[in-house]
Every structure is written in structure tokens, then in C-alpha cells.
Amino acid sequence: MRPHTAAHAFKSGLSSACQAAFRSAAAAVLTFMAAGPAHAGGAPPGTYGHKIYRVDYSLYPFVQVYFRTFDEDKQPLVNLNELNIGLMVKGRAYDPMKRQYRIESVRQKQVGTRTVLVLDASKSMAGAPFEAALRAAARFVDTKRPQDEVAVLAIRDEKEGYQLVSQFERDPLAIARRLADVQVDGMQSRIYDSVGAAMQMCGLSGQGSLDPGIENYIVSCSIVVFSDGLDEGSALAREELMGRITNMPVPVPIYSLAYSRRSSEHFKNLEALSKNSFGNYYNVGETVDRMQSIVEEIQNIVQSDYVVTFRSYLPVDGESHALKLGVEYPTGSGKFTYDSASFEAIEPPPVTGVRERMEALNAMLPLLPDGNPHFSAAGAAAVAPAPATQPPLPEPPAVVQ
């Protein structure tokens, strides 16, 4: 019988109450505006944070903001809805009562994620530790969604310091077969070179997926490292790698599983990479059996991102415009964290698939008659509302007779 999972393959080879809640949320947003900035992206003990990692304005005037949330334990916030969100464009807050934005979980959408698994295949990892890492890698592949893609690098004595075991792939059985062929024979472990290569692979994620489409594209990329943290002979120094992580325009979180039967002396190298990249660090030590539950946790984090879709009322001008996304958690607490980003007001191409998607968004977020998605009280008195004109939906391509 043919195996059905990567692990098997590896082994064998709105109501009235809602209205009131929205009014409460609106008041909270106004309080947020008056109070000014709270925490930005970080999560001190007892609090939480979020990080915007992608803004998609290809369907303008509809803008999609993808972000990852985390509490003090670096776990995602659950069950966020519009009552938790404060949205500002060019310094003016959207009124949640006007229903011009909505929030969805990435888990329920067709968009995909990418992950690069980096396996330390040096001889110091041979035996039970590496077998546990392979099982954990197979488990990670098993728990992905069909549209998600996984690539694998093995740290070995190759010219570049690593072996490309698998390019980005959706088929879990194909990935499992390639995992089973990895040899543990490296004399050196060029960890920094390998992580740098994984970052380059993630940097190409914006080029589309294996099966690109208007709803089926890659929105995020992460790296999962299985190693003891001992780097030997990398051409890329740790400081240079840390600099690259800091300067990446799109965050690529690194999740590190540090394990060793010999010494934990170099675990700190992996911890530093994870903390600098908004990832998580896991001190596995000698308890390698924990790896499978850890990769399940990582997969849950990756799939628990959110996307806020809003309708912009700025005219098409080709310019960049600032936005702020605030998150209040729990609802009604009055505590907002915020993160900043920007979008461009550009005209979408007149492609049939784009038009169909925009028509669906137009039905979800219909144009307001007065063209004003902001609060109509004090803020609107000082600034005149935007006109109710919007760029028309792109016409379908002409048919050549």
C-alpha cells in the first residue's frame, strides 16, 4: 500500500450585540489615536506584539496587510476579529462601524507559505540526534497545507557548505524520499553559509509559487534550523549574517532547534539568529524526542498569521502612502500595539482574473456613498472627506477578431 504521509514515506523510505461591540471598538480606536504609540513590534513580559511582513496593493483600491502576532511566549494571538483592529491611513483612523476593512486568518485562505528546512548533517549529529531531526522534518512536511511549499538544505562538505536536497516542493512524499537520502558525513558544519543560502531562497519567494494564480501565491517564508550551533569554516561571518537579517526588507523568521549529545556551548549562536529575526529558539538539548511536537508548534505559528483587507479612498497617483495597523488584545482592554507600513496607489492591470477578484472584494467592501471611511465626528470636522470617486475596475482585455 502506498504511504499517505511524509512520515510514513520516510519510515518506508453581525447582530445587535455585534453593533454594540463595534461601537465599543470604535471608541477604543479613538482612545488609541489620542494615547499615541504603544509597543511597536516587540512584546515585553506580560504583553504582546505584531509584525507586518507583507502589503499587497496589486488589487488597488483594495489593500491586503499580512502580519504575524505573538504573545510574551512567542505564541500567536487567537481569534482576532475586526473588534481587535485599529487601522489608520495617512494618520486618519478608519471607523470600524463603516465596514471598510475585515480580518481573516491565513489558515483559511488559498495563499501559500514557504519554509526552508536546514539540517545539520555533520558527523557530530550522527545517530539518534540526526534520526530524530529527520523524523521531525518529515512531521513538519506532514502538517503543512497542500498549497504550502518546503525546501531542504543539508549542511555537508559541499563546495558551498551545503547540499540542496530539495527545491521548494508541495508534494510531501517527494520531499520525504529526498530526506531519506541525506547522508550524515560532514567533517565541518558551515551553519552561517547554509542559513545565508536559505535566506536567499526566501528572498526569491516573491517570484511566485509552483502553481501561480491570483489567489494562489506565496505570502511568507520561514527557516527552520536543526543543529548544535557550532559553525566551522563559513565564508559568512556571524556578524555579517546578523546584519543581513536586520536589513532584510521582508522579515524571514528563523526557528532554531538546538540539540547535542556533547555540548550546549554553541547553542547561543542559534539563539541569536532566532531572536534577531523574530523567530523562536528551542533548547532541545538531549531530549530529541521533543522535536516533533516543536515542529508542530512552528507549523501552527506559520499558519496563524492574519490578513487585513481594506478599501482605500485615495486616488490613483502612483505615490507611496503610510498606514498603521493597531491590535487591541483582548477586546476592550484599551491596550493597542501598532506597526507601520506603506502601500502604493496604483492602477491594477486589466486582466480577467484580477477583475474577477476585485469584483468579489467590491461586494465584500462596497464603496461608501460619501467616500469617507474615517470617523465622522471631531476628526472629520478638521479634514474634509475624500470624494466618493474611485478608479473604475479594470476593463476586461479586448477580444481580437
Same domain? 153 vs 232: yes
Mean pLDDT of the chain: 83
* Predicted pLDDT of residue 73: 84
315 and 290, same domain (yes or no): no
Boundary of a domain, candidates 262, 286, 303: 303
Distance between CA atoms of residues 89 and 217, nearest Å: 26
- How confident is the model over 120-158, as pLDDT tens digits? 998 888 888 899 999 999 999 999 999 999 999 999 999
CA distance 112 to 92: 32
CATH number of 177's domain: 3.40.50.410
Within this chain, do residues 98 and 128 fall inside the same structural domain, yes or no? no
- Average pLDDT, stretch 188-213? 77
- The answer on 154 and 119 residing in a single domain is yes
Q: Is residue 391 part of a domain?
A: no
Residue where the block lists cell 506603506 = 342
Q: Is 234 exposed, middle or buried (0-12, 13-18, 19+ CB in 10 A)?
A: buried
Asked whether residue 91 falls in the same domain as residue 153, the answer is no
45 in the same domain as 76: yes
Same domain, 86 and 126: no
* 231 shares a domain with 345: no
Q: Is the dihedral of CA 127, 130, 136, 141 positive or negative?
A: negative
Residues 336 and 289 in one domain: no
Please state whether the peptide bond connecting residue 396 to the residue before it is cis, i.e. omega within 30 degrees of 0.
Answer: no
Counted residue by residue, the chain has a size of 401
Nearest to 126 by CA among 177, 187, 176: 187
Nearest to 140 by CA among 52, 253, 257: 257
Task: Strands of 156-285 (E only): list them.
Answer: 163-169, 218-227, 254-259, 281-285
Query: 40, 83, 3, 45: which is closest to 331 by C-alpha?
Result: 83
Give residue 26's domain range: 14-103+309-382
Residues sharing a CB contact under 8 Å with residue 176, sequence separation 6 or more, in sequence order = 6, 7, 9, 10, 13, 138, 141
What distances in angstroms separate CA 316 from CA 62, 307, 361, 366, 387, one per listed residue? 12, 23, 18, 18, 13
**209 and 171, same structural domain?**
yes
Q: List pLDDT tens digits, range 48-71.
A: 889 999 999 999 999 999 999 998
Q: Strands 218-227 and 254-259, how do they pair?
A: parallel
Task: Give the Cα-Cα-Cα angle 215, 179, 160 (nearest 5 degrees).
Answer: 90
User: Hey, is 126 helix, strand or coil?
Assistant: coil
Quote the pLDDT of residue 291.
Answer: 94
Going by C-alpha positions, the residue among 97, 101, 105, 104 that lies closest to residue 18 is 97
Q: What is the grid cell recorded at 103?
A: 480580518
Same domain membership, residue 272 and residue 150: yes
What's the confidence (pLDDT) of residue 185?
87
Q: How confident is the model at residue 117 (pLDDT cuts 50, 70, 90)?
A: very high
Residue 44 within any structural domain of the chain: yes
262/378 same-domain check: no
In the predicted structure, residue 28 carries a pLDDT above the cut 70: no
Residue 93 has pLDDT above 60, yes or no: yes
Assigned domain for 144 exists: yes
Cis peptide before 330 (omega within 30 of 0): yes
Q: How many domains does the chain have?
A: 2
Binned at pLDDT 50, 70 and 90, residue 182 comes out as: very high
